[in-house]
Amino acid sequence: MTIQAEHPAHGSQAEEKKNVHTEETSELVLAKDRTFKAPESNAFGQSFRDYDIESERQKGVEEFYRLQHINQTHDFVKKMREHYKKLDKAEMSIWECCELLNEVVDDSDPDLDEPQIQHLLQTAETIRKDYPNEDWLHLTALIHDLGKILHLPQFGDTFPVGCAFDEKNVHHKYFKENPDSKNPAYNTKDGVYSKGCGLDNVLMSWGHDDYMYMVAKENGTTLPSPGLFIIRYHSFYPLHKEGAYTHLMSEEDFKNLKWLHIFNKYDLYSKSKVLVDVEKVKPYYQSLIDKYFPAKLKW
């Protein structure tokens, strides 16, 4: 299995893989009604997704966003999609991809440095406890970040290109240097889109979300629409946290957004020092992979 990651290099490199230990230091917090209760601080003792706190890690995160906001133009995204849509970079199963992702630490995430496979399994296992019958949601949680295998630097929040950058985007000031901000075709509220056109028709900034959505679709997944919606828009914080860009949404988008709101809580707050026993839960997730995906996928 070989991966070829060719892409314009900007942004910082993924950090070295951290040593995994299985010592239990704390318990995931589950409220009495079995609804997951979010802890108030992350592994660094700070509130989650706080992009303003001064720290070395925050500076790296801010620099990441500065470069992302300048470089993600409508033209750039179209080129990246065309390049990766060939799916000629690798052939592997979903589980092989989960294991490969263990090498990656996300520079855009200010909350934690655990290996990604733990983030995937912690998200999936926590959501599974609260929604035991929605097996598609367990699998969606497991695979939502697999697009990160390309070591792309563009892991941050996502946003539409081809229309004005909403001020609700984190570090919005850096969009001033994005050439699309000065292009009258792209800098109006609707830009190249029309009201209610549906997010499927909107070009999103290029990153692991859209890449994984593309991989799932092109390989013929049978995951239901809200699963695919979660995969494509889970980093679209300007929409699901701030309520921006809703003028582009279709009726189906609004229905799917409810599942994304549920999912986001688990994506963010299930990050924990309690590591999931990978071998123990693997058979369950393998059965879901078999149900919704072919044995080998093109990446």
Give the one residue of 145, 180, 210, 253 binding Fe ion; rule: CB under 5 A.
145
Q: Cβ distance 267 to 127 under 8 Å?
A: no
Q: Which residues are bridge partners to 92 per DSSP?
A: 297
Q: Is 270 annotated as a binding residue?
A: no
The one-letter code for the residue type at 91 is E
**Binding track over 180-219 against Fe ion, x by CB under 5 A:** ----------------------------------------
From 26-34, 39-47, 74-82, 144-152, span contacting Fe ion (CB under 5 A): 144-152
Minimum CB separation of residue 119 from Fe ion in Å reads: 6
Does the annotation list 144 as a binding residue?
yes
CA atoms of 167 and 173, how far apart (whole Å):
8
Specify the stretch interacting with Fe ion by CB under 5 A; choose among 20-28, 47-55, 247-255, 264-272: 264-272
Q: How far is CA 184 from CA 121, 163, 197, 246, in A?
A: 44, 9, 20, 21
207 carries a ligand binding annotation: no
**DSSP strands (E only) in 140-271:** none
Which distant-in-sequence residues (6+ apart) come within 8 Å of 198 by Cβ?
248, 249, 250, 252, 253
Among 114, 157, 210, 267, binds Fe ion (CB under 5 A): 267
Q: Residue with the closest Cβ to Fe ion?
A: 145
Pairing of strands 297-298, 91-92: antiparallel
Q: Is 107 in the site for Fe ion (CB under 5 A)?
A: no
- The count of C-alpha atoms lying within 13 angstroms of the C-alpha of 67, restricted to the half-sphere facing its C-beta, is 18
210 is in an annotated binding site: no
Residues at the contact surface with Fe ion, assessed by CB under 5 A? 145, 267
Binding region for substrate: 49, 106-108, 148, 156-157, 234-235
